[in-house]
Amino acid sequence: MTTTFSRGEVINTPQLVINAGVIGFGFIGEVHVRAIRASGGVVTAIAAKTLDEARGAAQKMGIAKALTIDEMLSDEDIDVIHICTPNVFHAELAEQVIRSGKHVICEKPLATTVPQAQHLNDLALANDVIATVPFVYRYHPSVREARSRVSHLKEPLNLMHGFYLQDWLSRETTVNWRLDSTIGGPSRAFGDIGVHWCDLLEFVTGHRITHLNAQLMKVFQNRGEKVEIDTEDGATMIFRTDKGAQGSLVLSQVSAGRKNKLWFSFESPSESFVFDQESPESLWIGGLASNQIVMRGVNEESTGAKSYSILPAGHPQGYQDCFNSFVSDTYRSIGGAEIEGLPNFKDGLRAAKLTEAVLTSAKSGNWIQIK
């Protein structure tokens, strides 16, 4: 049988149908369900906080089975489990999935501590399962285009800066489980969105952040019914990389009008590269003689970008398309394919180390080295 995957690769092997289970069902759970189906997988079952919630979610999304977590772990029909629960449950559930012999996609953060993340990465390797984390902004074709062009630079990048700004927590009355460190973990703004920006920096440039100095920002000390908040609304950070570059990052979840403004500029003396996640169809490239805007889907796209440009130019791709490509790559990896750039538990461990360094630096006021 000839199988054609979502990005046009034709492989002469029998089609592998992946049966998936999903644990947790909020905004991100629905994103995972759509991505599973777009990738040719089957959403076999869903589990939630209670069986009644699972039944409600199953009915809403047309999923055949509502199960308890234990039932899902022992269900022989399920090949992979997607963990879409609040953060504090990720590590425990991921370990249970791996020990059950199933593959796993775990929402970030992989774990709320470095030792937990290290343990999970080691466990996944020891049990030979595919274990991935959805750093999905890697899957914008314009990001892949930037990565390709940076790899061919004659002069090294020396300045990297940007921001990731949101406004969904800009009202003092807004409450959410992410605000509670016992559920969301010790870092909110950096642990939630800062790690995405840092993952893009390291993925696109090949640099690794080795030293950082950070400070946290808390705009609202209390929220809702005077509930004291112990996680940050934002953060600022300066850093150095292993290849001699310097940079800065600004994060906020309380910036009015900024819905999901992930923006970076990676710069050298000869060329600069700017990407804006809210306008993801183009990559701005600065030069000494002229600047250019490279649109997604054009003939001049690099091979790495073309493989994720699934629609013709002028037909915008967005966040859900990135998620679909990520899940498709994970499933192809389960099928035995070698996938370049697939974010796995090692990347989840890296995010945990960066988060720990940011919190340590903010508490001490010192530069922190990330070994």
Cα–Cα dist 264/249, whole Å: 9
Q: What is the dihedral of CA 269, 275, 276, 281, to 10 degrees?
A: 140
Q: What is the tens place of the pLDDT at every residue in 182-238? A: 999 999 999 999 999 999 999 999 999 999 999 999 999 999 988 899 999 999 999
Q: How far is CA 45 from CA 54, 55, 70, 216, 312, in A?
A: 9, 10, 12, 40, 34
Indicate the range of 98-107, 110-119, 296-305 predicted with least confidence. Answer: 296-305
Q: How confident is the model at residue 9 (pLDDT cuts 50, 70, 90)?
A: very low
Backbone angles phi, psi at 44, to 5 degrees: -80, -40
For 158-203, give the DSSP string. -EEEEEEE--TT-STT---GGG-HHHH-S-SHIIIIIHHHHHHHHH
**pLDDT value for 100:** 98
Q: What is the dihedral of CA 111, 113, 115, 118, to 10 degrees?
A: 40
227, burial (CB in 10 Å: exposed 0-12, middle 13-18, buried 19+): exposed
List the Cα angle 253/363/175 in 5-degree steps.
Answer: 30
Asked whether the predicted pLDDT for residue 318 surpasses 90, the reply is: yes
Backbone angles phi, psi at 322, to 5 degrees: -60, -45
Query: Is the pLDDT higher at 277 or at 16?
Result: 277
Cα–Cα dist 34/40, whole Å: 10
Q: Do the beta carbons of residue 79 and residue 102 sit within 8 Å?
A: yes
| 131-132 and 103-106 strand pairing | parallel
Backbone angles phi, psi at 61, to 5 degrees: -105, 5
**pLDDT value for 299:** 87
Q: What is the tens place of the pLDDT at every residue in 145-178? A: 999 999 999 999 999 999 999 999 999 999 999 9
Cα–Cα dist 282/156, whole Å: 23
